[in-house]
Amino acid sequence: GAGVSQTPSNKVTEKGKYVELRCDPISGHTALYWYRQSLGQGPEFLIYFQGTGAADDSGLPNDRFFAVRPEGSVSTLKIQRTERGDSAVYLCASSLNRNPTYGYTFGSGTRLTVV
Amino acid sequence: KQEVTQIPAALSVPEGENLVLNCSFTDSAIYNLQWFRQDPGKGLTSLLLIQSSQREQTSGRLNASLDKSSGRSTLYIAASQPGDSATYLCAVPNAGNMLTFGGGTRLMVKP
């Protein structure tokens, strides 16, 4: 597509529930990144995919967080047993590849609220 | 570990003023530096990307400079307009192209 698409744009869930956040990157971009942004702060890295594999998941806060990209395009970030501290904006971005000379294109984000 | 700092955290100016936003980073061995704009409740829009070999980039009323040796970048906005009101973020990538962001500068341009 023309840009990075994230769905849903907003998600309200109860504490303890499971949620899935979807990211559809720019066609042809092999690198896909997930970031989390808390209120008033800059985004923080969560996980990076090169193709289908998670090349770096060092930013995932704990084992309740998991992400997949089974066909090397769309990615899903999954959060189990949600906690109120998980409330944030989850941003997805794609890049042509992992070469740092290439810039990013971000999606509009999913605002997750855990009540 | 790379750390990125943005000063000021917030800025309010009257319309028409020229202004400078600052970004500093601790590890000068960067590949590039990217400036983003974020409107409330929205994602990030890329404004300018300066490669490590470049000194500055310009787009319309925006000019970004990069001084690797001193670990600094500035975003200059000329003739500010109310529509420029947003949060401005700078970020630098590591070798795997994972970005480290500053905390952002929240800009308010008053009519």
pLDDT by residue, tens only, chain A of 115 residues: 579 999 999 999 999 999 999 999 999 999 999 999 998 899 999 999 998 888 899 999 999 999 999 998 999 999 999 999 999 999 999 998 878 777 889 999 999 999 9
Q: Which of A6, A35, A111 sits opposite B41 (nearest CB)?
A: A111
Q: What is the pLDDT of residue A94?
A: 93
The stretch B37-62 carries a mean pLDDT of 93
* Interacting residues of A29 by C-beta distance below 8 A, sequence separation 6+: A94, A95, A96, A97, A105
Cα gap B5→A98, rounded to integer Å: 24
Residues 49-108 of A with CB under 8 A from B: 55-56, 59, 91, 93, 95, 98-108
**Contact assessment for residue A24 and residue A1, using Cβ atoms and an 8 Å cutoff:** yes
Q: Which of B46, B102, B103 sits opposite A105 (nearest CB)?
A: B46
Cα gap A103→A115, rounded to integer Å: 35
Q: Which residues of B touch A102 (CB under 8 A)?
A: 97
The stretch B61-70 carries a mean pLDDT of 96
Cα gap B12→A98, rounded to integer Å: 37
Q: What is the pLDDT of residue A58?
A: 92
